[in-house]
Amino acid sequence: MRKLLISKLFVVLIITTGTYSFSQSFDSPHFTLERIGDGIYAAIHRSGGQAICNAGFVDLGEEVLVFDSFLSTAAARDLKQAIIELTGKPVRWLVNSHSHNDHIRGNQVFAPGASIISSSEIRDYLLKRGKEEAEEEQSYAAGRLVFYQLELQESKTEEEKQLARMWLGYFEAMVETYPDLVITPPDVVFKDTITFYGSKRSATLIEFQHGHMESDIVLYLPFEQILFSGDLVFIGMHPYLADGDPSGLKQTLEALLEWPIKTIVPGHGDVGDKEDIQAMIQYIDMAESMAGELKLQGKTPDDLDVAEIPEPYRDWKFLMFYKANLQFLNDLIKD
């Protein structure tokens, strides 16, 4: 288990702040801003927008650290403008929590002015697969966009409308961003832990392996006890387990439970607290149990209907991930 008492690498951040005019509010069609501390903001994906994931930024004193960059360059540009207006300070660091497209496609908006920092695994993945993934998406993105436009028109319940809007924003971002997209991998990598010291606060990045993906990075503010978790934590939404290691994810979450945490900014969902880490652990336990029962009964997740989803998960968003998670876990179980 990682301890936060000693950092393996220390970075002293000293930079002269440029002159900016800034206001106290900012509005974007892609995300909403939630002030969770003095100079600390969560950028929460807005339904129908092109952010898709959550992000955030932290005023270190002389400069700003950003956590994740959204799926679309349009959303990333809005985030950069919000930082200018709300802090009047330059972005020095951009953190990529992991390599899923919705967390890294806005990188080019912040570079070369900011250094992009992540693990070597995340950098290697983007170098090897980033451009190829973006090209693959273009073979189906336009068609899916039309499909969800029709889905929105035919949606009858608010839940169906919200789901259609989410996928509309997702595929709109792919279609609109691609012509100018430049996959921009991290130019600084670290292993295990790195701490940034500014005149206003310190901020620590910690890498966990074999969780949501092979490599996941969290941002922890020890004085404020705030955690930006990336996709290690989803709140009020079914997480996506199929690109990672559920048992490793559970171990990581159990380690996070021992940290002093008051506020969590998840990769997806509303801002929460430590109880939401426990809810994630309980979800994994539930999904593993359901997959095991299906295996014993000789059934597949397609044999389930919504009524068989346990409470409270029946009301969680991203319901389409539920069966995908059960199928993934079902496949992991040896006959």
The domains of the chain, with CATH numbers, are: 10-130+182-332 (3.60.15.10), 143-180 (no CATH)
Determine contact, residues 203/67, Cβ cutoff 8 Å. no
Average pLDDT taken over every residue of the chain: 91
Q: Alpha-carbon distance 326 to 287, whole Å?
A: 6
- Amino acid 302: pLDDT: 85
Q: Is the pLDDT of residue 16 over 90?
A: no
- Residue 75 or residue 294, greater confidence: 75
- Amino acid 182: pLDDT: 97
Estimate the crossing angle of helix 320-332 against helix 275-297, to 10 degrees.
Answer: 60
pTM over 0.75: yes
Q: Is the pLDDT of residue 82 over 70?
A: yes
Closest CA to 296 of 256, 333, 249, 254: 333
Which tens digits make up the pLDDT trace of 127-151?
999 999 999 999 999 999 999 999 9
Q: Where are the beta strands (DSSP E) in the chain?
A: 10-12, 31-37, 40-45, 55-59, 64-67, 91-95, 115-118, 188-189, 193-197, 202-209, 215-221, 226-234, 263-268
Determine contact, residues 162/48, Cβ cutoff 8 Å. no
Q: Alpha-carbon distance 194 to 209, whole Å?
A: 15
- Amino acid 306: pLDDT: 75
Q: What is the mean pLDDT of residues 64-92?
A: 97
Q: What is the mean pLDDT of residues 58-77?
A: 98
- Amino acid 335: pLDDT: 53
- Amino acid 10: pLDDT: 32
By CB atoms closer than 10 A (0-12, 13-18, 19+), residue 187 is middle
- The pair of structure tokens assigned to 275 is 């109880």
- The pair of structure tokens assigned to 238 is 């079914």
Q: What is the mean pLDDT of residues 83-102?
A: 97
Determine contact, residues 207/232, Cβ cutoff 8 Å. no
Q: Is the pLDDT of residue 15 over 60?
A: no
- In which band, very low, low, confident or very high, does the pLDDT at 300 lie, cut at 50, 70 and 90? confident
Q: Is the pLDDT of residue 278 over 90?
A: yes
Q: What is the mean pLDDT of residues 221-227?
A: 97
